[in-house]
Amino acid sequence: MKIEEFTLERIQSLYENTVEYNLSDSGVHPYSLRELLSPEQQNALLDVELGYGWTNGKVELRQAIANLHPNRTPDHVIVTNGSAEANFLLVMSVLEPGDELVVFVPNYLQIWGWARAIGVTVKEVLLREELGWIPDLDDVRKAVSGRTKMMTVCNPNNPTGSVLPRETMDGLVAIARHHGIYLHADEVYKGAELDQDEPPSFADLYEKAIITSGLSKAMALPGLRIGWLVGPVEEIYASWQRKDYTSITTGAVSEFVAEIAVQPGKRQEILSRSKKILRENLALLQRWVNANGDLFSFVPPKAGGMAFIRYAMPVNSTELVHRLREERGIMLLPGDVYGLDRHIRIGVGAPAHHLETGLERLADFVRSDLK
Ligand SMILES: Cc1ncc(COP(=O)(O)O)c(C=O)c1O
């Protein structure tokens, strides 16, 4: 099996841990265990037995995740190693060579890459900047056909931070229902909406919806490596069969902490911290874009940890990003990894002084050194 390089992740794994100012992260500055847990919980953590546990996830954790949705039981949930494993199991459980998948781009291209690798035909629906990166339902209607098995959406979207309006969500559900296809939604940024209430989950709108979620992005706990799928019992069971072949279980320590984090009160506390960091940083970024409006512009993100910024300089985005890292010690992601040159992705979940210094260096570089 041939698989295309997952350039987005490759660039990050090569450089993000060594660069001075990493602004390529898409999440929110992570918690430490000390910040997250009460002294009693920290103490209880020391008694966690380091056994294997359940291969589909500890039942209490699956129940707590099911409780985030109406009318769901632990059988509708599988716990995975990060939402990355959830996406992988989804592809391996639902799609087969020769199937057709509809994706939206720009997007986190993990499902796109796995699907192509196993011989699925991937049809792309382009999100347009002038529409606020929201899909045009007519484009979706044209892309979905009798051969389509699944449509997959990332909401809130990576990299643009757009959030689907309720009528667009309903429109996508109507199209999926009309064709009887699966509707998958990666909702790992859900809960980090900045100026609106948290929208519903696709899992609560459509009987053939399967959602990916987890603790890495809006929940600021990526080091736990906890994600999950919620969906119909049969498809969740199929993903469990595949998980026996992949990672067997998630870690006992992570499951213990995750069960605390997903309790409604704690979840809201975590999301409030994320939104506070994101709102403050976004205001800073907006001021910077205003001050540099001759070269940079963007549709401000409605949620999540990043902004997708268009620039006017006549330079390729990958080249720009490598030069910024080598010459100024700051790391961004190039639009190229999303197939959209002349854009850069900037994380807004980093500590404010990182963002501030990074943006200063970026402006200085493009004005003085970029020929
Ligand atoms: C949309 C989306 N889904 C899934 C993932 C994988 O996240 P993790 O495995 O850390 O939960 C990412 C990571 O950037 C992402 O942006």
* CATH number of the domain encompassing residue 228: 3.40.640.10
> Is 43 part of any domain?
no
Contact 122, 116 (CB under 8 A): yes
> Is 54 part of any domain?
yes
As for how many domains the chain has, the answer is 2
Q: Do 245 and 309 have their domain in common?
A: no
Q: Helices in the chain by DSSP H: which ranges?
A: 7-15, 33-36, 39-45, 59-66, 82-94, 110-117, 137-143, 166-179, 233-243, 252-261, 264-291, 317-328, 352-368
Q: Is the dihedral of CA 106, 111, 27, 71 positive or negative?
A: positive
Distances (CA, A) of 301 to 161, 186, 196, 338: 4, 17, 12, 17
Range of the domain at 312: 7-32+267-364
Q: Do 143 and 255 have their domain in common?
A: yes
> Is 370 part of any domain?
no
Q: Measure the N-to-C terminal CA separation of the chain; round to a whole number of Å.
A: 42
Spell out which residues line ligand 1, taking CB within 6 angstroms: 26, 82-84, 87, 108, 154, 158, 186, 188, 214, 216, 222, 227
Q: Residue 292 belongs to a domain with what CATH number? A: 3.90.1150.10
pLDDT score at 370: 79
Q: Ligand 1, residue 84: give the atom nearest the CA.
A: 9
Residue type, 141: R
Q: Ligand 1, residue 222: give the atom nearest the CA.
A: 10
**Widest distance between CA atoms in the chain:** 59
Q: Do 326 and 205 have their domain in common?
A: no
> Is 175 part of any domain?
yes
Give every residue of the chain whose pLDDT is below 50, as ranges. none
Q: Do 24 and 58 have their domain in common?
A: no
DSSP string, 213-233: EESSSTT--GGG-EEEEE--H
> Is 67 part of any domain?
yes
CA distance 294 to 296: 6
The pick from 158, 162, 308 for probing ligand 1's pocket by mutation, whose C-beta has the most ligand atoms within 8 angstroms, reads: 158
pLDDT score at 347: 96
> Is 2 part of any domain?
no
Residue type, 98: G
Q: Do 196 and 112 have their domain in common?
A: yes
Q: Residue 274 burial by CB count (10 A; 0-12/13-18/19+): exposed, middle or buried?
A: buried
Q: Which residue has the tokens 């994380």?
A: 347
CA of 296 to the centre of ligand 1 (A): 27
pLDDT score at 371: 63
Among 359, 299, 294, smallest CA distance to 331 is for 359
Among 298, 306, 300, 315, smallest CA distance to 365 is for 315
Domain end among 207, 237, 264: 264
Residue 126 β-bridge partners: 105
Q: Do 82 and 199 have their domain in common?
A: yes
pLDDT score at 86: 98
